[in-house]
Chain A
Amino acid sequence: MTLAAAPSLISKDRAISLLEEVIKQSEAEEIFVSLSTGEESLSRFSENQISQNISSTQFKLTITSYFGRKSASSSTTDLDSDAIASAIKRSEELARFAPEDPEWVPLLEPQVYEERTPAFDEVTATLSPLTRGEIIQRVCAISAKAGVDGSGTLSTETNLYAIANSRGLRACNQTTQADFSFTARIGDGSSWSNRSAWALEQLPIEELTQQLIERAIKSRQPCEVHPGTYPVVFDGAAFAALLPWIVWNLDARAADEGRSFMSRTDESGKPAGNRLGEAMFSPIVQVQRNAAHPLLQLGTFFGDGLGNDYKEVIQDGIPQTLSYSRYWAAQQGKKPTGAMYPIVMTGSDQSLADLIAQTERGILVSRAWYVRYVNPRSLVVTGMSRDGTFWIEDGQIAYPIKNLRFNQSLPEMLRDVDALGTVQRYGSSIVPGVRVGAFNFSSVTDSV
C-alpha cells in the first residue's frame, strides 16, 4: 500500500511567529489572535464493516480587533497572506462600527501557566489509515465470530492551539487524543461504551469489545419494570453523560442573578447571592478541575488566555468555587476562573461489580441518552437509559429490563450518591461508576 504524503502541519514556533505577524499587521488599538490546526481521522463501522472512513487537515485563524471598548472578530481557514490580511481588515471594519461594550474588559497581560507539557504521542499523531483499518478489522472479526452486529468508531486527533495578544500574551499547546466507542447488538440485546486517551496504545480496544459483546448477550429478552424511584448503579460511561450538567451550571453570574440551581433566594423570593459553601451534595462527592490528571494531560490555558489550573470544584459535597468570567469577577470583586473543566471526579478502588454486590435491589444503567433540561432553574433533566439496563437483586444482576425514561433533579442525584467505583476517561472527563440511592424513572420503552 502506498501511503499518501503526510500533511505539512505547522510547528509551535511557526504558530507563534504567525500570530506575531498578524499582530504586527494590525491597525487596531489592541488585538487578540488564536490559531488552531491539526489532523483529525475517524473510522466508523456498522454491521461489522467500515461505513465511513475520513481524515481531514484543519487550520483556523481567529482575529479579534479592539478600538477602545469596541471589538469584533473574524476568522479564516486560509493560510495565505491575502486571506489573512482580508480577515484582519474585516475584523477591524466590524470593530470600528461596533457599539461600545458596557461589559468590556481589557486584554490580559502575559500569564504564568502551570509548568507542564500536555501529552503528545507521536504514534497517535501519525497513525496510518491502514493501521486504523487493521484494528477495526480485528474488532469486526471478534463481533462476527460472536454473532453480534458491531458498530462504533476509532478516531485519532492531533491539535495545536496557540494564542497571542498585543499586550505580550503568548501561549501554545500541542495535544493528541484517541477515542474508541463500540456498540454490540444481538436480537433485542444491546450494549455500548467508550474510552478516550491521549495515546492510542492506552485504549483497551479488543478487551472492551469482548466485555461489551458479553453484556449485549446478557441484555437479551428484557423484562418490564414499573416506572418509579429506585436505587441506581451507573456505569461510568452513563454517569459521564450526567455529571457535566452540574458542572456546566456552576456559572457565578447565573447563580447571582437568580437563574441557576446555585442561586440563593431571600424570604421574598428575590435573588440573594449564591449557595457556594453549602453542603448540597453527598459528602463522598469530590470534583476537581484538573487538566494535569495523568489520564488527561490537556492544555494549560483557556481560549481567552486564562490558565486552566487545578481547582477544587466540589469538596466533601460542598461547592468550592463557581465559574467567574473576567467581567463578572470584576463586578463581584473575585478572581476570574475560566470554565470548570476538564472534570475529574474522584472514585474509589471498587469495581462496578463491587457496587452491584452492595446493592440489595436497584437498576444498572449502562448509558444515558438524549439528556436535556426540563427545568433549567432547578436543574431537572430528562433522558433515557439505553444499551443494557439491568435489574439488580441481592447484589447480583438478576435480569435485563426494558429501557426507561428518567425525569430527575441532578442536584438531588448528587445528594444521593452513596458509593463510588473506579474512574475511567470518557472524552475529556474522568468519572467513576456511581451508585445513587434514589433516581426517578417515569416511563418505559420497547426500543432497543
Chain B
Amino acid sequence: MVQAPAPISEVKTPGYTTELSELAIDLIRKAGCEYGDVRFCTYRTQNLYARDRSLSNLSDNVNSGFGVRVLLDGAWGFAASHNKTPAEVARIVALAVDIAKASRLSQLTRVQLVPVEAHRDTYITPIQIDPFTVPIAEKAELLLNVNEQLLNYGSRGIKKAYSYLSFSREDKTFASTEGSLIHQTIYRSYPGFGCTAIANGDAQNRSYERPPLNIGYEHIDRSDILSQVDRVAEEAIEKVHAPVGPSGIRSTLILKPTNLFLTIHESVGHPTELDRVYGYESNFAGTSFATTDKLGKLQYAAPWVNFKCDRTQPGGRSTAGYDDEGVASQNWYVVKDGILVDYLTDRETAHRLGRLSSNGCAYADSWSSVPMVRIPNLGLEPGQERGSHTATLAEMIADTEDGILIDGIGSFSIDQQRRNFQFGGDAFWKVEKGKVVGMLKNVTYHSMTTDFWNSIDAIGPASEWMQCGANNCGKGEPIQIAQMTHACVPVRVRNIQIGSSS
C-alpha cells in the first residue's frame, strides 16, 4: 500500500528576520512610541488524517509573516503583514502608529506595563527526532494500519475509524524597544485515533490520544499506539451496548487525568486569567467570578488541593523560553492549599494588579495576532506522599461503595464567569462495592466551580501524574487558538450532580 519513504524538502527559516526586526524597532522609536515590539514568525505544520481506509488529509503548510505592536501615549496599535520586505516593514510600523492614534481617541486610562529585563537569547525545544525528517510513508502507514485494525471489528459494530498525526514547528524572532532580541524554535507533536460503534439505533465513540506535547517524533510511539487499538475497539462496542447512565442523582466521581484536565482548564485556568477578571473579554469569552477582592481569601478548593503554573515544564504544550512580551518562563501557584493566591498575567494586567513583574502569560497564536493572557501549563499537584487524602486510582475505586469512573473528554460547557459547568467523558464505568462492574454511556456531571473543587476527598500520588492538555483553546476577538498542558493525577469527588436535574 505504501511506497518508499519520501524525503520532504526542508523549509528554511528566514535568516533576515533579525535585520528586519531591528529596522522595525528603529522605526518605532523614531515614531515617538513609548514602547514597541515586533514578532517575525514562521509556522510549519504537517497534518495527516485518515478516515476509514482513506488518508483524507495530507498537508504540509508554511505560514509566515510579522506583527508590529506599539504603545503611543498609553494607547495600543497593532498591524501585521505576510510580506517580509523592508518597505512593508516601514508601512506596517506606520500603520500600527496610525492605529494607536485612533485608539487614543477613546482612551480613558493610559496603558502601563510592568518592567521586564531585556534578553538576547535563543530557545529551542529539546527533541530527539525532528518530525519533519521522518518519511511521510511511515506516518501514513501507521494511521492506515490503526484504522484497518479498528475496522476489523466491523462485524461487531465498529463502522468508522479515524486516526491522525499532527506536527508543528514555530520559529519566532521577538524584538522590543527595550532591547530584547529573542529567537525561539518550538516543536510540537500529537497523535491519536478513535472509532465509532453502531448498534441498537445508537452510535458511540471511543478514542485514544497521546497528549499534545512539545516534543519530537519520539512521541509517536508506534508500539504503544498499536497496542491500544484492540482495547479501544472493544470498549466502543461495550459502550454502544451499555445502559444509559443515571440522571438526576448525586454520586461519587472518580476522574482520570484524561478527563480532569479539561475541568481544570475551564474552571481554574480561564477564571484566573487576569484580563478576563478585569473585563477585557466581557463581550465574548466572558469575565470571572474570581475577582481581585477574593485574592488570598477565596477557598477555591479543598485545603489539600494545589494548582501550579509552569511554563518551564519539559514537554508542556505552552513550554517556551519566553512569552510574546519577552518575559522569561517561570512557575507559580494560583491556588495554594485550596486558597486563590495568584493570577495569570501579561505586562499590562500585572501593572493593574500592582505587581512589579508579569508571570509571562502573553501569547499570540500567529504573527497576525496580538499577544494576550493565555492559560500556561497549569497542573494539579499530586497528593502529598502518605498524605491523609492521597490515594492511588485503585485505592479510590476499592474505597468507593457507589460511583462512576470517567476517562477521556466528551461534552463540556461552562458559564461566562466560569462557575456553572457540565462535563461528559469518553468512557464511563459503574463502580459498585469497590469494583468496576461495567460500562455506562451518555453520562454528564454538573457542578459549580468552587463546590466541585472543595468536594475532592482523594488525590492521586506522583506516580500517577500525567501530562494531558488542550491544543484548541479559543479566546479573544478575533478568536485565537492556544495550547497548554494540564498535568494532573486522578481524583475522587463526592456528591456531584449526575446528568440533568430536570
Contact = CB atoms under 8 A, between A and B. Distances in A.
Interface of A: 1-5, 7, 40, 42-60, 62, 71-79, 83, 86-87, 89-91, 93-103, 128-130, 132-134, 136-137, 140-141, 149, 151-153, 155, 181-183, 185, 190, 192, 227-229, 257-259, 263, 265, 269-271, 369-377, 382-384, 386, 403, 405, 407, 440-448
Given A3-B98, A4-B98, A96 B9 contact: no
Contact of B95 (A94, A98, A129): A129
A129 B60 contact: no
B415 A52 contact: no
A375 B412 CA distance: 11
Nearest to B279: A46
With most chain A CB atoms within 10 A of its CB, the pick from B52, B205, B501 is B501
Contacts of B137: 97, 99
A51 to B, nearest CB: 5
Contacts of A130: 98, 101-102
B411 A4 contact: no
Contacts of B404: none
Given A90-B8, A97-B5, A382-B422, A56 B415 contact: no
Contacts of A134: 102, 105
B223 interface: no
A370 B415 contact: yes
Q: Top 4 closest A-B pairs, CB basis?
A: A133-B102, A97-B6, A447-B417, A445-B420
Given A47-B108, A375-B442, A90 B9 contact: yes
Nearest to B50: A99
A53 B78 contact: yes
B82 A59 contact: yes
Contact of A94 (B60, B77, B98, B477): B60
A302 to B, nearest CB: 17
A75 B67 contact: no
B1 A100 contact: yes
B447 to A, nearest CB: 9
A370 B106 contact: no
Nearest to B266: A370
Given A7-B91, A53-B76, A129-B99, A447 B419 contact: yes
B446 A54 contact: no
Given A228-B502, A384-B415, 7 more contacts: A5-B94, A77-B82, A86-B11, A181-B477, A259-B203, A370-B416, A374-B411
With most chain A CB atoms within 10 A of its CB, the pick from B76, B422, B444 is B422
A185 B55 CA distance: 49
Nearest to A149: B279
A388 to B, nearest CB: 12
Given A46-B283, A53-B102, A269 B82 contact: no
B81 interface: yes
B199 interface: yes
Contacts of B446: 405, 442-443
B359 interface: no
Given A86-B11, A97-B4, A445 B419 contact: yes
Contacts of A151: 279-280, 282-283
B146 to A, nearest CB: 13
Interface in B416-468: 416-420, 422, 424, 442, 444, 446, 448
A5 B283 contact: no
Nearest to A37: B82
Nearest to A57: B81
Contact of A185 (B76, B279, B415): B279
Contacts of B414: 370, 384
A60 B64 CA distance: 10
Contact of B8 (A50, A94, A445): A94
Given A72-B59, A102-B53, A56 B11 contact: no
A318 B105 CA distance: 52
Nearest to A226: B502
A2 B60 contact: no
